[in-house]
Chains A and B, each alone.
Chain A
Amino acid sequence: MAERSQFCTFYLDKLLFGVELKGVQEVIRALEMTQVPLAPEMVGGLINLRGQIVTAVDLRRRLELEARAPETQPMNVVVRSEDGAVSLLVDEIGDVIEVEEATFELPPETLRGKVRAMILGVHKLENNLLHVLDTEEACQMGEATGEAA
């Protein structure tokens, strides 16, 4: 890993998250979404990204955070994943931050469960902690719930 790396940051339920800038395709405002019935809960819907159909992952649900207030419009952070572009639904976009390798620390042992697999660690910023998100892991959707009713 490089000495310094750049992160595209965003907020989820007041927590600061970041994904590596080089994996980010673009950041766009809220787009109209189509629900996907029977899909895993984390699937926020499908969006039309200039003729390309992209799955939007509701990061709040994925990270087991409180559900977003219905009146707020999420932003889309479109990242490149193994399976093509995926949009991450976030509350608010932050700055692009450059961090030093030295400030990185693994998540504490007390962080357990599914969420742990998705958080690579944190960068200690001056007055905040930057959660480094494993986008591949976050985009893994698991099996659909669409079994027999």
Chain B
Amino acid sequence: MSDSDIVKEFLQESYENLDRLDRELVGLEKNPRDADALASVFRTIHTIKGTCGFLGFDKLEKVAHVGENLLTRLRDGKLLLNPEITTGLLSMVDAVRQMLKEIESTGQDGDDTFPELLQRLAGLRESGANESSAAVAAPAVRPTPTEVATARKKGVDLDPSRGTAAPPSQAVESRPKSGKFRPIRGKIGGLLVERGLIKAEALALALQEQERGDRRRLGDILVALNLAKQEDVNTAVQVLESKTRDSAAADTIRVGVNLLDKLMTLVGELVLARNQLLQVSNASRDSGLQTVSQRMNLIATELQEEVMKTRMQPIGKIWSQFPRTVRDVAFGCGKQVNIEMEGNETELDKTIIEAIKDPLTHLVRNSVDHGIELPEDRVTAGKDSAGKLTLRAFHEGGQVIIEISDDGVGLNAERIRQKAIERGVITPEKAQKMADSEIFNLIFLPGFSTAQKVSNVSGRGVGMDVVKTNVEKIGGTVDLQSTLGKGTTVRLKIPLTLAIIPALIVTCGGDRYAIPQISLLELVRLEDTEAATNIEFVHGAPVHRLRSRLLPVIYLRRELRIGNSDGPKNEDDAINIVVLQADGRQFGLVLDAINDTEEIVVKPLRKQLKSIKTFAGASIMGDGKVALILDVVGLAQRASVVSEIKEHAEAARAEMAASAAKKRSYLLFSGPDGAHMAVPLDTLARLEELPVSQVEKTGARWVAQYRGQILPLINLAYALQERRTRRRSNEFQAAAKVERYQVLVCNHEGHRAGLVVERIVDIVEDSAEVQYPASRAGVLYSAVIQGRVTEMIDVPAILQTAHLEPEHAEVFH
């Protein structure tokens, strides 16, 4: 390994370490007594310092050294971390980062020796020793008044006990009482003896002490008994901890990203070739070819998954630095902000992660700087004095949605409107016509800032347009929603470009389209005669009753303006409905034909075609032809299924969830002797009316021809009767001569069976709360539904018994 390689590796490792430092320091600020975190921070700095010395970067080593000194005091409990020290340490991290950059570009650690920073850190280090109330010691570099104010406030909040600070030696002894310590991994005593730092007798003494019930760490006991020096113990701790860390690093290797890119491209090609091969083999009768192509299929799928994984990174990787960003910005403008993150584990392709890093950072800073108000203002507005910044990431419709919301002041549509008119961006007439949501999107225009004053963070009018441009560059979109006084939400929609996704391939107007599986809920097929009647109209808007709920229906042909826009050519054709979900709303999409599901490689559309919101991209099919990928959300918006105001959808969703939790849909029917009976609707496949003439007998069973299949029939009246009274039911059946049977079609263990009932009454939603135990076999329980005592039929049990004793079907005589 050459010198430059060593330096390169040092740089990479140090950058990672520094990022971790940022996180840990901010975390530590909230919980300053977390000794584990402190030890970890210490170790990181120590590693950097050590390597610098080794590679001859003296200035860098010096900075790290001063930081380490400060941390030593913190770790020894002689100082308690306060915001001021955190700021000092964070500036040190920044200084180190700056020097690393310098090393990266010039090979030297630069000329800047950071005298001010060193002085400040040294000052902080002394502050604990010189003054009794160390938390608010005078810093060497004067921070801004707000900084001090916040520091003072926070310092007091964080450390109420500081006023009666214990002397250093006591602090050491009192540490274990916090009860948070884990025993040190490995044998510290052994190591100390081995190095000749303590005597074996001393170790024995300390161990005895421990056995007697002293719950302190061995190292601490040794120090307390004056048997070992604090420094020696610390060094030993480090040695032990670094050993465990090294072993973990051994099973990973660093791989160049371009190599991964190349692998990904090749796998994409392989997937396409695989799809082609599968088509060829399916068409052939060569079983050898089929076996090989099946195997190839499996391998390619697995390979693809694994290669994809190598490129995927959780979004948490870039989010992890936001607590620091938020802290810095909030600190700088005297605000209190809590950051919450949801969906940290949402994975995105590496290239995309990199591309959205800057836009996201900008949005986060913006939210803190502009969005969230000062604590006083927040209290006046009746909010919690600390603002809340929420980051959410999740998958939706084959895309990743990232939302950055704050509960701050929100955007003032009126002010933006005026500003836009002032700047001549829009005419006053147009401004009045534009909806607030459109007005908000004006802030994405270049040079448009509504900040009342320019701060060092934002308000210069560069930024939002850059955010938009950068996100659009990778094929994403930015959308902003805001309520004055309530907060702002910026929503980024990031496509999974490069990704391979499962999709449903459908045909419409002779061309194929791919629908990302992720937005697919179910497929509904309306046969021949049903087709005409099962699509109803609400004042012209087509709907379909799906399990007693109205599902808005749109026609793909009509939306895409292909051919004759009235869907299938003649009314008798079956209708295929794909039930999709977009923005929390469901809708049905009518297509010509549903082909198959397939893994597709998503390729972005060219800039010009990207403005068509209906398509998310394109893909190459197994036969080499191109198919467009439908953007379900875009399509829904185009068809106005999804209104722009998302709350509607959310309210509807919440309502649905709430009612679904309590209520269930039941089918009510009359059983034998007019008894009230019910079955949960979701146990049924469908309801049919079969003419008597369609019922035939095969062997001992009664069956009906149904959709080209044979459907075994079971008479519920007969199945429920006890054996000895069966004759009576036959008589009853004969008396009530029916022309058509009402049949409940159920799926049972992969087979269909029909349950014949007297009369279908209704479908109701009820909680069916009052329940009594069942009075006979085949009944689950009795409940009060719609004010009547109703028997709940145990469908699987009845089908099961019917299966065992086929002779009872004789009731159809």
A interface with B by C-beta (< 8 Å): 32-40, 43, 45-48, 51-53, 55, 83-84, 86, 139-144, 146, 148-149
Contacts and interface: CB of A to CB of B under 8 A. Distances in A.
Contacts of B285: none
Contacts of A40: 608
B608 A37 contact: no
Interface string B61-95: 00000000000000000000000000000000000
Contacts of A48: 620, 624-626
B612 A55 contact: no
Given A35-B511, A36-B628, A51-B272, A43 B560 contact: no
B624 A146 contact: no
B545 interface: no
Contact of A53 (B559, B562, B626, B640): B626
B618 interface: yes
B625 A144 contact: no
6 contacts: A34-B618, A37-B561, A38-B560, A43-B608, A48-B625, A148-B638
B628 A46 contact: yes
B725 interface: no
A34 B606 contact: no
Contacts of B559: 149
A122 to B, nearest CB: 27
B162 to A, nearest CB: 62
Contacts of A144: 608-609, 611-612
Contacts of A38: 560-561, 612, 614
Contacts of B625: 32, 34, 48
A84 B628 contact: no
A48 to B, nearest CB: 5
B639 to A, nearest CB: 8
Q: Which of B606, B607, B615 has most A Cβ within 10 Å? A: B606
B618 A46 contact: yes
Q: Which of A52, A55, A140, A142 has most B Cβ within 10 Å? A: A55
A45 B627 CA distance: 10
Interface of B: 268-269, 272, 509, 511-512, 558-562, 603, 605-609, 611-615, 618, 620, 624-628, 638, 640
A141 B608 contact: yes
A16 B132 CA distance: 92
Contact of A55 (B509, B562, B609, B614): B609
Contacts of A140: 608
Contacts of B615: 36
A53 B269 contact: no
Contacts of B608: 40, 43, 55, 83, 139-142, 144
Nearest to A33: B626
B609 A141 contact: yes
Contacts of B628: 34, 36, 46
Given A32-B624, A53-B626, 8 more contacts: A34-B512, A40-B608, A46-B626, A47-B626, A48-B625, A141-B609, A144-B612, A146-B611
A83 B606 contact: yes
B612 A84 contact: no
Contact of B611 (A33, A55, A143): A143
Contacts of B272: 51
A35 B612 CA distance: 13
The 4 closest A-B pairs by CB, nearest first: A37-B560, A141-B608, A34-B626, A46-B626
A79 B79 CA distance: 69
A43 B509 CA distance: 17
A89 B627 CA distance: 19
A137 B620 CA distance: 28
Q: Which of A32, A37, A38, A143 has most B Cβ within 10 Å? A: A37
Given A48-B624, A55-B608, A34 B511 contact: yes
A149 B638 CA distance: 8
Nearest to B512: A34
A34 B509 CA distance: 11
B414 to A, nearest CB: 27
Contacts of A142: 608
B603 to A, nearest CB: 5
A36 B640 CA distance: 21
B275 to A, nearest CB: 12
B682 to A, nearest CB: 36
A146 B606 contact: no
Contact of A51 (B509, B620, B627, B638): B620
Contacts of A55: 606, 608-609
A53 B603 contact: yes
Contacts of B511: 34-35
A50 B615 CA distance: 22
Contact of B618 (A53, A143, A146): A53
Contacts of B612: 36, 38-39, 144, 146
Contacts of B605: 53
A89 B640 CA distance: 35
Contacts of A35: 509, 511, 562
